[in-house]
């Protein structure tokens, strides 16, 4: 299968058996979901393996494929945005939730996961509504718009993903998830800043531009000015502060949530330094921001992840 070695594909087949996915067409549907996720994000498969019990990994992959496809329909250049394809697909999802059927293999896998893991249909509907709200979005007026996006789009998806992972739902976990989602989204906005600008989206709020006397045209033109550098330094500082808060809050979460979130936050920590050092170069497209591992966070995160993998190992959570 493209993107996977023979060893990985063999492991994937064993994982499907452990998840109780019946042989035949449904296993092919889950494999189509895996192909979609690894095609867009090659690191998705090893991340799922490190942060989730093997019996749940196919469900995580199915949810990831669902979210990636939704993003692909929404994340188009603002001046080329046609809401029709997204709304048509969202209606397919809604009908699929009622019937359990779909013409899209990866969506059939997602619908099976929704049923098998008792995912709330309300969360799926909320996520679709949140994504619809992003269609044609060109920017944020204030930081509250960032938080509204978290609440309306990211959090419903996070709840769907958490349910598929078997993570208990309670206020403490919800608070930790929201912090982690905020941190990851801020890191992602910085990493994608140049690409987002090229498609007509600016995720740095207008109020921040006014505060530092920078303009949208400055950013779109890639100007390396003191005002632009100060703005980007401030934006990186906010992202790092939220990242630290999310990482520290993990200690209050359930072990399975810690296992699921820690690898993603570790990756953000290792990449954050590269974004901070880039300065105005963040305004120019780059295929990859180089990682410079921070020994303290890398060692701490690795040891904690291993601890939670061992503590969760058992007949129903074999890793």
Question: CATH no. for residue 217?
Answer: 1.10.600.10
Domain match, 249 and 264 both: yes
Task: Give the pLDDT score at 256.
Answer: 86
SS3 139: strand
Lowest-pLDDT choice from 171-180, 184-193, 291-300: 291-300
Q: Write out pLDDT tens, residues 23-72.
A: 899 999 999 999 999 888 887 777 777 767 888 999 999 999 999 999 99
Please tell me the distance from the alpha carbon of residue 132 to that of residue 70, in angstroms, as a whole number: 9
Domain match, 180 and 261 both: yes
Total domains in the fold of the chain: 2
Domain match, 188 and 156 both: no
Please identify, among 130, 165, 200, the residue that sits at the C-terminal boundary of a domain.
165
**What confidence tier does 169 reach under pLDDT thresholds 50, 70, 90?**
confident
**What confidence tier does 259 reach under pLDDT thresholds 50, 70, 90?**
confident
CA distances 54 to 13, 16, 31, 168, Å, are: 11, 9, 15, 18
Query: In 3D, which of 256, 223, 268, 313 has the Cα closest to residue 51?
Result: 256
Domain match, 236 and 294 both: yes
SS3 202: strand
Domain match, 62 and 158 both: yes
Count Cα neighbours of 102 within 13 Å in the Cβ-side half-sphere. 24
Domain match, 93 and 50 both: yes
Please tell me the distance from the alpha carbon of residue 302 to that of residue 296, in angstroms, as a whole number: 10
Domain match, 89 and 175 both: no
Task: Give the pLDDT score at 297.
Answer: 53
Residue ranges of the alpha helices (H) in the chain? 6-18, 25-40, 44-51, 57-74, 83-99, 105-116, 121-132, 143-149, 155-164, 171-191, 193-198, 206-211, 216-220, 226-249, 255-278, 295-312
Domain match, 94 and 64 both: yes
What is the overall mean pLDDT for the chain?
Answer: 88
On whether the pTM is more than 0.75, the answer is: yes
Domain match, 305 and 264 both: yes
Domain match, 251 and 287 both: yes
Lowest-pLDDT choice from 51-55, 111-115, 135-139, 169-173: 51-55
Share of the chain above pLDDT 90, in %: 68
* CB 29 within 8 Å of CB 108: yes
Lowest-pLDDT choice from 106-120, 218-232, 266-280: 266-280
* CB 171 within 8 Å of CB 269: no
Domain match, 110 and 186 both: no
The domain containing residue 285 runs over which residues? 167-319
Domain match, 171 and 33 both: no
Tell me the mean pLDDT in the region 118-137: 97
């Amino acid at each position: 299968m493209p993107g996977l070695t023979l060893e990985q594909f063999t492991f994937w087949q064993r994982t499907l058996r452990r998840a109780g996915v019946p042989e035949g067409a449904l296993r092919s549907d889950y494999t189509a979901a895996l192909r979609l996720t690894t095609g867009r994000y090659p690191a998705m498969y090893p991340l799922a393996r490190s942060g989730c019990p093997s019996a749940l990994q196919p469900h995580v992959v199915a949810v990831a494929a669902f979210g990636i496809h939704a993003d692909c329909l929404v994340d188009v250049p603002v001046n080329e945005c046609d809401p029709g394809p997204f709304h048509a697909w969202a209606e397919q999802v809604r009908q699929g939730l009622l019937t359990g059927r779909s013409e899209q293999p990866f969506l059939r896998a997602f619908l099976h996961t929704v049923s098998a893991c008792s995912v709330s249909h309300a969360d799926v509907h909320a996520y679709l509504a949140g994504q619809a709200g992003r269609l044609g979005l060109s920017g944020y007026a204030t930081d509250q718009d960032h938080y509204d996006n978290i609440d309306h789009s990211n959090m419903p998806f996070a709840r769907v993903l958490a349910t598929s992972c078997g993570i208990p739902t309670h206020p403490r976990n919800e608070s930790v998830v929201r912090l982690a989602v905020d941190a990851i989204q801020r890191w992602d906005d910085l990493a994608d800043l140049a690409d987002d600008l090229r498609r007509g989206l600016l995720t740095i709020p207008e109020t921040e531009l006014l505060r530092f006397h920078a303009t949208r045209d400055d950013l779109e033109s890639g100007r390396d000015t003191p005002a632009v550098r100060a703005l980007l330094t401030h934006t990186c500082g906010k992202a790092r502060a939220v990242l630290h808060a999310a990482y520290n809050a993990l200690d209050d979460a359930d072990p399975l949530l810690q296992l699921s979130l820690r690898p993603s936050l570790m990756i953000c920590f290792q990449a954050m330094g590269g974004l901070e050092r880039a300065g105005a170069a963040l305004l120019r497209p780059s295929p990859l921001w180089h990682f410079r591992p921070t020994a303290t966070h890398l060692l701490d995160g690795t040891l904690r992840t291993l601890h939670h993998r061992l503590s969760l190992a058992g007949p129903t959570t074999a890793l």
